[in-house]
Amino acid sequence: MGSIHPRRITDWSDRFAPDLDVFEALASETLSGLPHEILVQCGHVHIVLAEYADDAVLDALGIEDPHELLGLFEGNALTQGAAKVLAAQMPNRLWLYRRAILDYWASNTESLGDIVTHVVVHEIGHHFGLSDQEMDRIEAAAGN
């Protein structure tokens, strides 16, 4: 059996999983890099972070395992003339579920930043009915 390189162990001995502030910063950075036409449709988006989706959300979506939901976009599109109506409603919210994202990150080779970017773009994209090709293009642009 080969020996374990001591440096490898000590490189991780004092590290912790990224906290909610890191997730908020990654999501904010992604949002700021989205194309203008997408940002206009979204309006102001509040980033909301939680460890997992709550049971009511999971039940409403028919999801049993909380690790299966990495994020969720709640809100309305800002179409022409809708801004006044929406001003009285709850703001658009982008939920990121930290523990589910960390679990996915641990099981894949993508960087945490790439995963958060993917979740942000795809949750917004699904909400606004974008095609997979459109979301891939936006995700690539947001990664620059």
Tell me, yes or no, whether 137 lies in a domain. no
Host domain of residue 26: 21-106+114-127
State the 10-residue block means of pLDDT for the chain, 144 residues long.
57 79 91 83 85 96 96 72 52 92 95 93 85 86 67
Tell me, yes or no, whether 79 lies in a domain. yes
Tell me, yes or no, whether 5 lies in a domain. no
- CA 112, 59, 51, 10 dihedral sign is negative
Residue 99 near residue 17 (C-beta atoms within 8 A): no
Domain total for the chain?
1
Whole-number pLDDT of residue 80? 39
Tell me, yes or no, whether 132 lies in a domain. no
Tell me, yes or no, whether 99 lies in a domain. yes
- CA 99, 103, 108, 109 dihedral sign is positive
How far from the centroid of its chain's Cα atoms is residue 111's Cα?
Answer: 13
How far from the centroid of its chain's Cα atoms is residue 3's Cα?
Answer: 39
CATH number, domain containing residue 37: 3.30.2010.20
Tell me, yes or no, whether 45 lies in a domain. yes
Tell me, yes or no, whether 4 lies in a domain. no
Q: pTM for this one?
A: 0.79
